[in-house]
Chains A and B, each alone.
Chain A
Amino acid sequence: MTRRGRRAVYRRALPLGIAFVAALAAPAFVAYAVDAGGWPPGPVDTRTAGPVATRVAGPGAAGVPGPRAGSSIRAAERPLPLGVSAAEAQPAPPATLTIPSIGVETQLEHLAVRADGTLAAPVDFARAGWFADGPAPGERGPAVIVGHVDSRDGPAVFYRLAELVPGDPIEVTRSDGTGARFTVTDTVQAAKDAFPTQAVYGPTAGPTLRLITCTGQFDRAARHYLSNLVVFAAPA
């Protein structure tokens, strides 16, 4: 059985599992053993309690000073270099996108919103583009990268986007040479007039990535596809 077939079967089964879990209603949460004897003996020096108001910075971060009362709260924000969804403060803009499983290797244009409020597509059918007014890949929030599925003549950069399955790796390199790695978590198809705006552009706890292309029926009068395909990805 192919990966895709296997995944599709699980996709059908998953809602049942979710419904089962949801039926558990409010989560039980029980503290059942506070062993005061487990504490290190002797007085605790609160000065070693580490930085106040910083995100966890891992070992060695205790020397990071906390903000003084009256200082900007924004100064309290620090990234977390741990094995969880660590977001970077201000990563450099993305330069290239690589998706090995579907043979995509493209430079990235910078995309803006047009006068009518919609997001512009890349000028070059062979290149993808990054929504430059949104988060950069690796920054907290959803980074959005858009590519054409086809041109007027043939396949374009995201022609094979629909082949992506959960777990497929996506790599972004940035203008400063650093990189960010993601893995595909989900794929959604939606009519453009019912575009899942909140799922695509809405808040995420960590740095996430969305890849968008076209799909569905083609309106030959307007010369546009009627649906979008969105691939959701999370940090690898």
Chain B
Amino acid sequence: MSMMKNYDVVVIGAGVSGAAVARRLSAYRLSIALLEKEIDVSFGVSKANSGVIHGGFHHSPDLLKSRLEIQGNLMYDKLQRELHFPFRRCGILVAAFSTEEMRIVQELYNRGLANGAIGIELCNGDRMHMLEPKLNSDVMGGLFAPGGGIVEPYRLVFSLVESAVLNGVDLHTNFNVTRVDKSGKSGSGDREYVLHSSDGQSIRGRWVINAAGLFADRISGLFGAEEFRIHPRKGEEFLLDREASAHTSRVIFPVPNPVSKGMLVIPTVEGTTMIGPTALETDDKEDLATSSENFEKVFYSARRLIPAVSERDIITSFAGLRPSLEDGDFYIARSEMAVRFIQVAGIQSPGLTAAPAIAEYVKDLMKQGGLSLTEDPDYQGEIPAVPRFRSMSLHEQDAAVETDPAYGNILCRCENVSEAEVVAAIRRGHTSLDGIKFYTRAGMGRCQGGFCSYKILQILRRETGLPWEKITKRGGNSWIVRERISPAKTS
């Protein structure tokens, strides 16, 4: 137990909220641990969502999440300059098809003004079609939020964590907190938490941030803090080929209904098109299965907005879960039952947009709770950029190969990913096939890894020394190959 590492702050959950908090706190003289139960960061809620940076008009001004959405949105430009994740402020359109829908658009507009959304605009049909020529000709008007945009969510989280680690945060992956003890005399201010993982690791911390996403309710329980229940709500999305003619220049929303923002057409930063998500309550926090029933629904809805949407362009589909709370708002507060325990729960949409502001808010809560914050003079906001072969000009590609020949070895032909990028991913700790895929896009294109998987496996083996059968898709029991062929069986 004496060897157990002692931290000022332990953040549970390396999704976008936990990663943003850890990175924000790493600017101060604090020892910080970031715990993640999966093999890699961003492998929960943050991995599978729409990647939309919202425009500040969907939610009522009296909700905490509206405030954080607006603030977070404004923080993205600086964040992107420092962390180099794919982000584009392409603007959001809400398309209305009737005068009834136009009335709701008017409400959204008023709400946006009340929230302080910058530059939002009520549009007639002509203006809408000028802003997005691929819109259904029946669209009679709508809303334009130029401040809205798109981001690659996992790349954002990877960058936040990389920055945190660069500034001294200890990342512990495969650390699933299953038991918590309190050490020291009860009632004394020196009491600390001892966090135990399912596989027998332990760490100690004074402050704990509960950013456990779908499992924030369980974690709160382990610390004897507030009781609440996270309700998973499933969203299925379909990804279309980068050649798809449905690729729009802005994010297209339908007019929302009371429970959901509806199904969207999203031009991803990387050039593919995403349509969805559905919104379906489920009881199972691990239920990431897609269904055939939702296919029709999603395509009908998307085609109504953008008639060029075609099922022929589907590359893949996936599902994600939103960690929602009963009242629909974020729950970010100092626990009234457990000392130095901060709840960051119920972070569903617009959580991605709000994340940088959530980090700021949490920092302030901790300060109010008595944590002394001294700025670290060595803090570096910027991380080194890893140039991507596919986004370079021919001239840049030429220069890159001159400096590092590994840029000349194109492993993923669909997304033009070079060996240099795969090596960069592995050296940053992304050692599963999915981790490499999300960092580099190798395997995300139209062949879905049919050609590059074995090449990635070879480089993973070379860089990590792992044997074939220890390499996984995403940790745990997700092995790729069973064993070497035994000679006795090959006859």
**Do the two shown chains form a genuine complex with each other?**
no
Q: Chain B interface (Cβ within 8 Å of chain A)?
A: none
Q: Chain A interface (Cβ within 8 Å of chain B)?
A: none
